[in-house]
Amino acid sequence: MAMGFIKKILGKTEEATPSQKHSKPPQKNNKGARPNKAKSSPSKSNSKPKPTKKDPHAGWTLEQFKVEPCEGKKRFHDFDLDGRIMHAIQDLGFEFASPIQSEALPLTLAGHDLIGKAQTGTGKTAAFLITVLQKLLSTTPQERYASEPRALVLAPTRELAMQIAKDAEGLSKYTSLNVVTVVGGVDYDKQRDILQNQVVDILVATPGRLLDFLQQRTVFLDQVEMLVIDEADRMLDMGFIPDLKRIIRGTPEKSVRQTQLFSATYPYDVVALSESWTYHPKQVEIEPESVATDTVDQKFYSLQEVEKDATLVSLLSQPDMGKAIIFANRRDTSRDLADRLNKLGVKAMLLSGEVAQQKRVKTLERFKTQNKSVLVATDVAGRGIHVDGITHVFNYNLPDDPEDYVHRIGRTGRAGTSGTAITFIDEYEAYGLMDLETYLGKKIMVEPAPTKE
Ligand code: AMP
């Protein structure tokens, strides 16, 4: 199996570099210095509860996952993936690869490093996870120790990290791979115990907490075969680059590991970092417009600042309103808005950086499970929201940065469904519209806000 994968890489790759790096033996550890040596044989390579009764994948064949070929679209069948991954993909209801998956998978499965320009909503998480899983299932290390992940996924926010881990669990449900999440704000001792005592296959982490564990020698990154850096631009905005540099220094050198880096935007610093962290990378780009405009009906309402609350309450009471998310530009604006909405009879939840982590997780869970629910969020908190079935996104304020606009409205109209984005434009915000028009490359039509009957 392991050889099969290497052969496949060699067969498909024109340049020698990516394949060479994956045929190198794993780096040697200084295991003697490690506090914990919870060794495990590859066949028992995790501490997940063992499936006691029947293997739920047993008996499944690819024949059972029928997707008729369709011109212009790639099926997951076209990538020669492990049956356990295909079975999970079938359960998730995916039929065709999304554009980023169609472009990225042939490259990353062949062993290339990747720089992807794509944002949430494009299916980029599955794109990088499928490659990670395929690679992990294709090779079996001789010996495994606790504290040594084989794949590391770095994300800027806890919500995003938890979502990625959830997606990884979904895609790996028919395997025995162990997915572990390390995020700040919660469960320090629990996370440390897991790292020290379990054989970790995929570690999904936010930089701060991971660096802490790295410095405590609770985790070792020198066995990382696959590194994924998600939302690199947001990492930069949030000041994580120094932490990230230290973390990445702990992984094998870039010619040995496979690195996938994703960012919605490429400011100069992200370009420079991408180049320094990847090895002869291939690049794929999914235009934001294809996400932003295709499936989201975008409306811009002109109104005065003082009219915003009443207009919002009125729109939220419309019969077609399902799950709605309201973005405001600042934490205090979000908090005050959520308070006012609750006083006006709209049950609104709040998700912002100032809300304690445990509460944020609960809020997100409630938002997901209730059919009609309203969430007020800031951009940073909102980035991690991957909730299906959001019918409306409101921009209570026009975001200062046009990229945030695209991120916000991408919370709706996900994975082929349609959604509505309503942006309030008051007397001051009208000035920001030109930047957004330039960014979107199209004229924005502003209409008067509907008045209450
Ligand atoms: P992401 O961009 O990774 O946040 O993914 C956005 C959403 O698309 C998630 O809800 C995924 O489950 C879903 N998704 C990813 N890939 C596919 C696919 N090939 N077909 C249908 N839905 C998908």
Report the 3 state secondary structure along 158-212: HHHHHHHHHHHHHHCCCCCCCEEEECCCCCHHHHHHHHHHCCCCEEEECHHHHHH
Residues 364, 361: Cα–Cα separation, whole Å: 5
414 lines ligand 1 (CB under 6 A): yes
228 lines ligand 1 (CB under 6 A): no
Q: Of all protein residues, whose CA lies closest to atom 11 belonging to ligand 1?
A: 123
State in Å: Cα 345 to ligand 1 middle.
34
Residues 126, 153: Cα–Cα separation, whole Å: 12
Does an H or E element contain 229, and which? strand 226-229
123 lines ligand 1 (CB under 6 A): yes
* Lowest-pLDDT choice from 38-42, 116-120, 445-449: 38-42
Q: What is the pLDDT of residues 117-133, one digit of tens each?
A: 987 778 999 999 999 99
* Mean pLDDT of all residues in 103-125: 92
Is the distance from CB of 181 to CB of 205 less than 8 angstroms?
yes
Inter-residue long-range contacts of 74-77, CB under 8 Å, 24+ positions, other chains counted: 74/101, 74/102, 76/130
Q: What is the pLDDT of residues 313-353, one digit of tens each?
A: 999 998 888 899 999 998 899 999 999 999 999 999 998 87
**CA geometry: angle at 70 spanning 66 and 75, to 5°?**
55
Q: Which atom of ligand 1 is nearest to the CA of 94?
A: 20
Q: What domains sit in the chain, N to C, each tagged with a CATH number? A: 2-27+34-48+55-285 (3.40.50.300), 290-448 (3.40.50.300)
Mapping DSSP to helix (H, G, I), strand (E, B) and coil, where does residue 27 land? Answer: coil
122 lines ligand 1 (CB under 6 A): yes
The pLDDT of residue 431 is 86
Q: Is the confidence at residue 170, as pLDDT, over 70?
A: yes
Q: Which atom of ligand 1 is nearest to the CA of 119?
A: 2
Alpha helix locations (H) across 216-307? 232-237, 241-249, 268-277, 288-292
Q: Which atom of ligand 1 is nearest to the CA of 125?
A: 3
* Lowest-pLDDT choice from 67-71, 270-274, 336-340, 380-384: 380-384
Pocket test for ligand 1, best of 70, 85, 98 (most atoms within 8 A of CB): 98
Q: Is the confidence at residue 7, as pLDDT, over 70?
A: no
3-state class percentages of the chain: helix first, strand second, coil last, to nearest 5? 45, 15, 40
* Lowest-pLDDT choice from 22-36, 143-157, 196-210: 22-36
Closest of 79, 83, 84, 87 to residue 103, by C-alpha? 79
The pLDDT of residue 248 is 97
Closest of 358, 375, 437, 386 to residue 170, by C-alpha? 386
Q: What is the pLDDT of residues 245-260, one digit of tens each?
A: 999 999 999 999 999 9
Residue 35 is classified by DSSP as S
Q: Of all protein residues, whose CA lies closest to atom 6 belonging to ligand 1?
A: 121
Q: Which atom of ligand 1 is nearest to the CA of 96?
A: 19
* Mean pLDDT of all residues in 286-294: 58
What pLDDT band is residue 306 in, cutting at 50, 70 and 90?
very high
State in Å: Cα 416 to ligand 1 middle.
9
Q: Within the chain, how many helices (H) and strands (E) appear?
A: 18, 14
* Mean pLDDT of all residues in 219-229: 97
Give the burial string for 245-276 (b: 16+ CB within 10 Å, else e).
eebbebbbebebbbbbbbbbbbeeebeebbee
State in Å: Cα 389 to ligand 1 middle.
13
